[in-house]
Amino acid sequence: MGSSAVIRRVDRYHDLLLLHAAYPAHYPYLLESVVHGTEQSRFDILFAFPGHTLTLSSLNQLHSSDPHFALDGDDFLVNLDRCWQRDCVDSRAVADLPFCGGWFVYLGYELAGQIEPTLRLPLQRSALPTALAVRVPAAVIRDHQRGCLWLVAEADHESLLDRMDQHLRTLALDLPEEASNGASPESYRLCEEDRERYLRGVEAIKHYISEGDVFQVNLSRAWRGSADADRSVAIYRRLRRHNPAPFAALMTLGRAAVMSSSPERLVQVRDGRV
DSSP string for residues in 194-216: PHHHHHHHHHHHHHHHHTTS-S-
Within a domain: 272? no
Q: Calculate the alpha carbon distances from 26 to 118, 138, 243, 271 in Å.
A: 40, 10, 27, 31
If we measure between CA atoms, which residue out of 30, 13, 39, 29 comes closest to residue 96?
39
Least confident of 117-121, 135-139, 201-205: 117-121
Within a domain: 268? no
Same domain? For 150 and 214 the reply is no
Same domain? For 196 and 111 the reply is no
Q: What mean pLDDT comes out for the span 230-243?
A: 90
> For residue range 15-66, what is the model confidence (pLDDT) as tens digits?
999 999 999 999 999 999 988 777 778 899 999 999 999 999 988 899 999 9
pLDDT score at 181: 46
Q: Please give the Cα distance from 109 to 119 (Å, whole number).
A: 12
Q: Which residues of 46-59 are buried (b: 16+ CB within 10 A; e: fewer)?
A: bbbbbeebbbbbbe
Phi, psi of 35 (to 5 degrees): -100, 125
Within a domain: 271? no
Same domain? For 68 and 78 the reply is yes
Same domain? For 81 and 210 the reply is no
Within a domain: 273? no
Same domain? For 86 and 170 the reply is yes
> For residue range 139-176, what is the model confidence (pLDDT) as tens digits?
999 999 999 999 999 999 999 999 999 999 998 777 76
Within a domain: 270? no
Within a domain: 137? yes
Q: What is the pTM of this model?
A: 0.86
Same domain? For 239 and 146 the reply is yes
Same domain? For 105 and 199 the reply is no
Same domain? For 194 and 181 the reply is no
Q: What mean pLDDT comes out for the span 176-201?
A: 71
pLDDT score at 36: 79
For residue 96, give its domain range. Answer: 5-188+229-262
Q: What mean pLDDT comes out for the span 186-213?
A: 88
Domain count, the chain: 2
For 159, the 3-state DSSP assignment is coil
Same domain? For 207 and 258 the reply is no
For 272, the 3-state DSSP assignment is coil
Same domain? For 96 and 204 the reply is no
Which CATH number goes with the domain that contains 257? 3.60.120.10
| CB distance 5 to 98 below 8 Å | no
Give yes or no for residue 179 having a pLDDT over 70: no
Q: Please give the Cα distance from 164 to 24 (Å, whole number).
A: 13
Same domain? For 102 and 147 the reply is yes
Within a domain: 274? no
Within a domain: 269? no
Same domain? For 211 and 234 the reply is no
> For residue range 78-133, what is the model confidence (pLDDT) as tens digits?
999 999 998 877 666 566 899 989 999 999 989 999 998 788 888 888 889 999 99
pLDDT score at 207: 96
Q: Calculate the alpha carbon distances from 140 to 7, 73, 215, 222, 268 in Å.
A: 10, 35, 43, 34, 20
| CB distance 240 to 248 below 8 Å | yes
